[in-house]
Amino acid sequence: NAGVTQTPKFQVLKTGQSMTLQCAQDMNHEYMSWYRQDPGMGLRLIHYSVGAGITDQGEVPNGYNVSRSTTEDFPLRLLSAAPSQTSVYFCASSQGTGPWGEKLFFGSGTQLSVL
Amino acid sequence: TQLLEQSPQFLSIQEGENLTVYCNSSSVFSSLQWYRQEPGEGPVLLVTVVTGGEVKKLKRLTFQFGDARKDSSLHITAAQPGDTGLYLCAGAPRTGNQFYFGTGTSLTVIP
């Protein structure tokens, strides 16, 4: 049982480069989300999706793009990487179309450094 | 500005001591959760509380949701080295689909 799978585990980018962080879940969860984790700031929501074809912005969406073409996959795209995007990124999913009282299942994270 | 503030940010205690971590907000939440995160891993859910004043126990961990549903606490009795980790509270507001996390408390239990 894989759960939530994130790739890559580590990534180093140069300023201005673009890349896609992959996230896949095999639990048939409707709700998927992306967070970034920075020291002293906990987890901040970047984008989320309540189902295939539906996405919305979270607290810190600038510089990131998402799409949800299937229930299983929710990739996060960095359009033009900046040093301020150096962070650890987590993908999470939950059953149902909203997070209220639902258990979030997290991937193991992607550590991104932008030079 | 973080919607959920946790205190303390760092906590280092000896094995066997008791501790309390606080999660505070000026907003009302429909539910509040506590997660624990170990290095190199994603957070893992410990508990969900949904009723104001609710108290839940998980072995040596006691979780409480404030009467006004704006705050929560996590109390650990007789801490053990295995309790070491980052503790995060997370709240779901009454409306919307966003799930907000607190600033985190890093706990180290020294053998």
The residue ranges of chain B whose pLDDT is under 50 are: none
CA distance A74 to A53: 10
In this prediction, residue A98 carries a pLDDT of: 60
Backbone angles phi, psi at A38, to 5 degrees: -125, 150
CB B46 within 8 A of CB B35: yes
Percentage of residues of chain A with pLDDT beyond 70:
94
Averaged pLDDT score across all residues of chain A = 92
Q: Which residues of B touch A110 (CB under 8 A)?
A: none
Nearest to A101 among B31, B44, B88 (CB): B31
In this prediction, residue B66 carries a pLDDT of: 94
In this prediction, residue A69 carries a pLDDT of: 97
Quick one: which H or E segment has residue A54? strand A54-57
In sequence order, which ranges of chain B are alpha helices (DSSP H)? none
The answer, yes or no, to whether residue A99 has pLDDT greater than 70, is no
Kindly give, in sequence order, each residue whose CB lies less than 8 Å from that of residue B95, ignoring residues fewer than 6 positions away.
none
Contact B9 A90 (CB under 8 A): no
In this prediction, residue A72 carries a pLDDT of: 97
Q: Which residues of A touch B42 (CB under 8 A)?
A: 4, 90, 92, 106-109
Q: Which residues of A touch B48 (CB under 8 A)?
A: 101, 103
Backbone angles phi, psi at A42, to 5 degrees: 65, -145
Q: Per-residue pLDDT tens for A38-66?
A: 988 889 999 999 899 999 999 899 999 99
Give me the mean pLDDT over the A20-25 stretch. Answer: 98
User: Which one has a higher pLDDT value, A69 or B30?
Assistant: A69
Give me the mean pLDDT over the A65-71 stretch. Answer: 96
Nearest CA distance, B16 vs chain A (angstrom): 26
Least confident stretch, A3-12, A39-48, A61-70, A90-99: A90-99
In this prediction, residue B2 carries a pLDDT of: 63
Contact A42 B6 (CB under 8 A): yes
Q: Which residues of A touch B103 (CB under 8 A)?
A: 40-42
Percentage of residues of chain A with pLDDT beyond 90:
83
Nearest CA distance, B71 vs chain A (angstrom): 16
In terms of CA atoms, which chain B residue is nearest residue A4? B42
CA distance A37 to A40: 9
